[in-house]
Structure 1
Amino acid sequence: MAKFDWKKIREQAKTKETYQVKEKMWTNRIVKIIIITFLTIVIVGSLGSYFYINHALGPVDDKNEQTVEVTVPIGSTTDDIAAILKENALVNNQFIFEVYMKLQNVGELQAGHYEFSKAMNVDGIIAQLKAGGEPIFEDVDTTITVIEGTTLEQIGELIEEKTPYTSEEFMTLVNDETFIKGLSEKFPTLLGGLLDIEGLKYPLEGYLFPATYDYLAGMTLEDLVTQMVSTMNLEFQAIREDLDNTWLSFHQVLTLASIVEREGITDEDRALIAGVFLNRIDVGMPLQSDITVLYALGEHKELVTLEDLEVDSPYNLYMYTGLAPGPYNSPSMSSIMATIYPTYSEYYYFVADLDTQEIYYSSNIDDHNALVEQYVNPYFESDESQAESEEPVDEVTE
């Protein structure tokens, strides 16, 4: 029978137990380290994600208040809008913005023209997109009616209202020398030498004939303006022989007719007024029309003051004699013909009754001043700034 060494066996068991205890302790430590490491990663990751997302949803530059013009086209999706904003550097992260909009269930955002700044956060941008921006003009067929006496700037405003083109784009085009030279080649007898005239405020002022024009969707601005000048050319060609009745060039006819347009209403009065102005030119008297002062000032006013009369512009015919460098507006054919065929008289003055618009004429300053006192001054007796002239032509305001 074998003899067991119980002492040795006990020592081995004790050694094994000790090893198992140590192994368990190390296992627990490793598990704890793994758990702590995992939790640390999770916490750090969560904090990092929080700060990252918070930054992504915040302003790109909270100190930059300068606005950026952005257009959101009709039919844009949230992803499209996110791309547009990222392209304009208005959001920090396109993907997070897309996800945020979907999580917020913002619904349909409105198309339009917007002004955002880099100082706006995502919530501010979304709020503005919900509220809507300036409507996008839908390019459709329409008509544009240029009424008699309309200035070039007013035509620009009309075009902006009726077409996708802005008034600034229109004014840039009608003052572009290359474009005007091209028109001169198409209509040489009408526009030849136009760019050689000194002092013109707007070369094409007066050459866009007042009429109704068809605008077709997609029509270029160049084609639209050319159509208006072409109509003037047709009218001009029809009356070329009539110009033999006047010593004025057609450009000068347009210039004087544009003043007559705003001073008279009936054909009879327009012919008489044209005659008064020509009488003044013959004797070297300034035309002294308030219309010329207002054009020189570039503004509309109910009353021209003494200070206004001092505006130094070749278009101010209180300050300068003769005719201005060019027209003040687009005159009607009625005013053009009245200028070509004026009614000659002994009159050098006229004034309009501001109530009835009836015009009274006189041949001397005393009679004229009496008419002004009777028909004009009662309307402005309380205004100390009323303009007075030694030789006023009229006191009719636009």
Structure 2
Amino acid sequence: MPKKRNKNRRFGRWTFLLLLAAILLGGFLWLSAGTAPMPAGRAFYVRYERPTTLPKVLSEMQRKGVVRDPTAFRVYAFITRTPTQIRTGTYQVRPGMTARELLNEFRKPFSQKVRIPETNWAQRTANLLDTKYQVCSADEYMALYRDPKQFHKLVSFPLPSTTLEGYLYPDTYDLPPLLGARAVIERQLKAFERKVWEPLNHPADLPRILTVASMVELEAGRDDERAAIAGVIENRLKKKMRLQIDATILYGIQRWKRLTNADYKNLDTPYNTYLHEGLPPGPICSPSLKSIEAAMKPDTSGDSLFYVAMPGQRSAFASTYKEHLKNVKKRRDALKELGQ
């Protein structure tokens, strides 16, 4: 009897071990199949405006063709001790990612540094954010740009009633894809408040300052010439001379091009300072702090009324038209020598 009992025990133990092995093997095969990568595809972004959970994200990823079996992924996440809370932010995913790659992607939101240049006017920034960085649609950005009243309570400085041109501070921002235009504009306005309005002690006549500064921004090739160019603008205004700044024409037509002699007369917009006296209706780009400071403290000491950019050198300033024509000839000769 004892031998038969021992034999039954050994048989029961082996049966249990075989059953356990079958369960483990079946579980492994199920987990492997459920977490196997989907066919490779194009990467895309998803964004969550508030914290969410991994199960909800995995269900969405199944609908988007990135995950085969959300339950298998949840088991895998439990085994690998992956956090189940997903933070607010943007994430980059693509069909074909392994389980480890996908879960690692959702550990930290996607970060993207975007440089908004000083020389950009709003439409150019909108196009940049849309086509290159997928931060927001250009139309969404421009619609908010044309509706400043939505942001009056956001900042302490006065906003214009028509557009936000000149107030959208140019800088490098962390702007992940799908962030949305409102968040971008809010960051730009807060940066303007922090880096311009407050450091410059709440300058009076802000619209005029920004209008002059924006022209300086697009005209100055060197930092040490900004105040002198601002001085030329002020000197010409004082003498009731038309400013004749090419960049104002380009802003009026909202595109860059090489201007012809006919363009100066035929491209008649309110911003054409060859045809219209005084300042243009408003800023023509988002100026840097240096240009704003130059507009606040223009160098009018030399009575200069003209300037021309010299290739590889400082700009040449002149107080008479005759002197200016000589400088223009020097520029042409210099360009010829350079083969331009």
Q: TM-score scaled by structure 2?
A: 0.63
In the aligned structure 1, how far is the partner of 2:200 from the partner of 2:314? 32
Deviation of 1:300 (Å): 1.0
Secondary structure at the residue paired with 1:189?
A: coil
Deviation of 1:379 (Å): 5.0
User: After superposition, what is the alpha-carbon deviation per residue over 1:249-292, rounded to whole angstroms, capped at 9, x for unaligned?
Assistant: 11111111111011113232110010010000111101101111
In the aligned structure 1, how far is the partner of 2:209 from the partner of 2:254? 22
Conservation of the 8 A alpha-carbon contact between 2:236 and 2:243: yes
Q: Which residue is 1:263 aligned to?
A: 219
Change (3 A) 1:220 1:165: closer
Q: Which has the larger radius of gyration?
A: 1
Aligned residues: 233
In the aligned structure 2, how far is the partner of 1:166 from the partner of 1:333? 27
Conservation of the 8 A alpha-carbon contact between 1:297 and 1:308: no
Q: Which residue is 1:336 aligned to?
A: 292
Q: Does 1:174 align with 2:131?
A: no
2:123 to 140, 145, 153: 153
Change (3 A) 1:217 1:307: closer
The answer to which of 363-372 and 294-303 deviates more is 294-303
Instruction: After TM superposition, list the pairs within 5 Å mapping 1:228-267 onto structure 2.
Output: 228-241=188-201, 243=203, 249-267=205-223
Secondary structure at the residue paired with 2:174?
A: strand
Conservation of the 8 A alpha-carbon contact between 1:267 and 1:338: no
Deviation of 1:184 (Å): 1.5
In the aligned structure 2, how far is the partner of 1:269 from the partner of 1:374? 19
Q: Which residue is 2:241 aligned to?
A: 285
Conservation of the 8 A alpha-carbon contact between 1:242 and 1:340: no
Instruction: After TM superposition, list the pairs within 5 Å mapping 1:313-328 onto structure 2.
Output: 313-328=269-284
In the aligned structure 2, how far is the partner of 1:326 from the partner of 1:271? 19
Q: Give the counterpart letter for 1:229 in structure 2.
A: L
Change (3 A) 1:370 1:242: farther
Q: Give the counterpart letter for 2:281 in structure 1.
A: P
Q: Does 1:297 align with 2:253?
A: yes
Conservation of the 8 A alpha-carbon contact between 1:352 and 1:376: no
Conservation of the 8 A alpha-carbon contact between 1:351 and 1:371: yes
In the aligned structure 2, how far is the partner of 1:281 from the partner of 1:304? 25
Q: Give the counterpart letter for 1:301 in structure 2.
A: K
Q: Give the counterpart letter for 2:307 in structure 1.
A: F
In the aligned structure 1, how far is the partner of 2:257 from the partner of 2:176? 36
Deviation of 1:166 (Å): 2.1
Deviation of 1:305 (Å): 2.7
Change (3 A) 1:242 1:271: farther
Change (3 A) 1:155 1:256: same
2:329 to 344, 357, 373: 373
1:348 to 290, 301, 305: 305
Q: Which residue is 2:23 aligned to?
A: none
Q: Does 1:143 align with 2:113?
A: yes
Identity across matched positions, percent: 28
Conservation of the 8 A alpha-carbon contact between 1:310 and 1:319: no
Conservation of the 8 A alpha-carbon contact between 1:293 and 1:309: no
Conservation of the 8 A alpha-carbon contact between 1:190 and 1:236: no
Conservation of the 8 A alpha-carbon contact between 2:135 and 2:179: no
Change (3 A) 1:274 1:187: same
Conservation of the 8 A alpha-carbon contact between 2:136 and 2:179: no
Q: Which residue is 1:223 aligned to?
A: 183
Change (3 A) 1:308 1:280: closer
In the aligned structure 2, how far is the partner of 1:348 from the partner of 1:331? 22
Q: Which residue is 2:90 aligned to?
A: none
Q: Which runs of 5+ in 2 are unaligned?
A: 1-62, 68-93, 96-108
**What is the RMSD of the two structures over their aligned residues, measured on CA atoms?**
2.6
Change (3 A) 1:162 1:170: same
Secondary structure at the residue paired with 1:243?
A: coil
Secondary structure at the residue paired with 2:157?
A: helix
Q: Which residue is 1:205 aligned to?
A: 165
User: After superposition, what is the alpha-carbon deviation per residue over 1:345-393, rounded to whole angstroms, capped at 9, x for unaligned?
Assistant: 211111111x21520011101110111122137759xxxxxxxxxxxxx
Secondary structure at the residue paired with 1:361?
A: strand
In the aligned structure 1, how far is the partner of 2:199 from the partner of 2:228? 20
Conservation of the 8 A alpha-carbon contact between 2:135 and 2:176: no
Conservation of the 8 A alpha-carbon contact between 2:213 and 2:294: yes
In the aligned structure 2, how far is the partner of 1:273 from the partner of 1:242? 23
Q: Give the counterpart letter for 2:287 in structure 1.
A: P
Q: TM-score scaled by structure 1?
A: 0.54
Change (3 A) 1:293 1:189: same
